[in-house]
Amino acid sequence: MTEQRLKMDRRAFLKTSAAVAAFTIVPRHVLGGEGETPPSESLGGALIGCGGRGGGTFGELGKNVRQLAMCDVRFVDKADNKLYYTDFRRVLERKDIDVVAIATPPHWHALISIAAMEAGKDVLCEKPMTRFIAEGRAVVDAERRYNRIFQVGTFGRYGAIKSDRSRLTHKIMRSGLLKNCQGVHIAKGGLKVAMWSGMVKAPPQPVPANLDWDMYCGPSPLRPYHPHRHGGTHRGYWDYEGGGLADMGQHHFDPIQWIYGKDDTSPVAIEAYAPPAHPEAGAMWGWVELTYADGLTFVMDSGEWGEPYSRKKDRDVNLEDLAEEDRKKVQETPDPEPFPTFPEAVKTRRKPGGHAEAAHRCATLLHLANIAIRIGRKLRYDPVKEQFIGDEEANRLAYQPMRAPWHL
């Protein structure tokens, strides 16, 4: 993204174009010739959280989006509140911003997504969608209340829907004809447990001059500064994320959740095998088993601590699991419609793949797993009320208070 392009907001763009048009040949990008976007279809975009995945996430907004603002808590030394910001609230006040890409650490994902939708913007947010369960429901509510487009930037389900086998499994599961599901999906490895753990020994250090540390901490407790708490390694702290499980889990389980038709529900029983968890820093765990009400089981097996998972074996769901008369019904069911991409969703107002409810349910899988690891006992969960049954400590991790002034 060039500096020149960044500096031009939509009004300035139109004004300049009009002035130029009065005296010269109207340029093609104004009229919108082949391969060009006319200004009427051009959208103003903002990127909030400019490190790591930021540029890539912004690119997913679509070719017709012009970047008008960049916001990051590390911009203290260059914030001009025109192009560079440290406070996302000032970005969202702008009326020329239509779409927002969010690539902050996850403890800000829900709050900024909700605030953006409250301000009338459509949102593409990085994974994992949230830091705890209540945040996800609040995002779903905001999406519904304001009829906005919201998508989490993990795209595995776009590939899954193209697979004949995945579509068949999806149709079996969504048919409601399979009463006692014996499917087991085991995700082995790839959850970067040691890589994205937190430091338990992290003596305070001076806050860098270009960093707004209070804003960085935001809804989480204001801790003494340590560089490991931000800049990618934030993943290892419960204050900001949920370790490699949360960071990679939405990639692994978003397509799996769709394939097995679980975009609108959650597991009812969760059990983890792990050493006692640290209250602030994510650390080692062995495996987590999550079971849905129909018997479907998802397993996360880290392969990084303790004995590997051995209770069940991977098992697909098959047509043969159904009574013969039901197989035909499933085979005759039309295939699901392809998911709109984010730009298509913005244009058509149809929900994209990874919309709020689906993404929330996927993030919930990760939170349930992490809470089971943190609490260290078998948990039962009500997927309708979205609460643990008879476990006060677990519910407190699902519904966490926020540091004022931030609230859901």
Partner 1 sequence: MEPREELLKRLVAEMPDPDERGMYCHVVVKDEGPDGKPRTETKPIDKDKIEKAVAELQKRGREAVVGLVGMLVEPLEGDDVQPIKAKYALHVLGLCVSKMTGDDARRDYALALASQLGAERSKGARKYIIQELQAFGRKEVVATLGKLLTDADLCDAAAMALVAIRDGAVEPLRTALGHAKGACRLAVVQALGALADAGSAEALQKALGDTDREVRIAAGWGLANIGAGDATGALTKAADACEGWERIQMTNACLLLSERLVAQGKKDKAKVIYAHLRDSRKDPSEAYVREAAEKALAAN
Interaction site with partner 1 (CB under 8 A): 89-90, 92-93, 95, 115, 118-120, 145-148, 193-194, 197-204, 221-222, 224, 228, 236, 274-279, 281, 283-284, 305-306, 375-377, 392-393, 396, 399-405, 407
Rounded to 5 degrees, φ, ψ at 361 are -65, -35
CB of 319 to partner 1, least distance (A): 40
CB of 294 to partner 1, least distance (A): 29
- Dist. CA 152–CA 134, nearest whole Å: 16
**Residue number with CB closer to partner 1 (28 or 350):** 350
CB of 352 to partner 1, least distance (A): 18
Which residues sit opposite 387 in a β-bridge? 382
CB of 206 to partner 1, least distance (A): 12
**Residue number with CB closer to partner 1 (127 or 235):** 235
- Dist. CA 221–CA 361, nearest whole Å: 26
Q: Does the N-terminal peptide bond of residue 255 adopt cis geometry, omega within 30 degrees of 0?
A: no
CB of 167 to partner 1, least distance (A): 33
Identify which of 201, 191, 196, 358 has the alpha carbon closest to the alpha carbon of residue 272. 191
- Dist. CA 195–CA 244, nearest whole Å: 7
Please say whether the beta carbons of 273 and 370 come within 8 A: no
CB of 135 to partner 1, least distance (A): 14
State the CB neighbour count (10 A cutoff) for residue 403. Answer: 13
**Residue number with CB closer to partner 1 (183 or 219):** 219
**Residue number with CB closer to partner 1 (283 or 299):** 283
**Residue number with CB closer to partner 1 (221 or 334):** 221
**Residue number with CB closer to partner 1 (317 or 373):** 373
Residue type, 268: V
- Dist. CA 33–CA 70, nearest whole Å: 29
Continuous segment of H or E residues that includes residue 325? helix 324-332
- Dist. CA 370–CA 375, nearest whole Å: 9
CB of 90 to partner 1, least distance (A): 8
CB of 252 to partner 1, least distance (A): 21
Please say whether the beta carbons of 267 and 290 come within 8 A: yes
Please say whether the beta carbons of 259 and 169 come within 8 A: yes
**Residue number with CB closer to partner 1 (243 or 261):** 243
**Residue number with CB closer to partner 1 (35 or 204):** 204
Burial degree of 318 (CB within 10 A; 0-12, 13-18, 19+): middle
Rounded to 5 degrees, φ, ψ at 46 are -130, 145
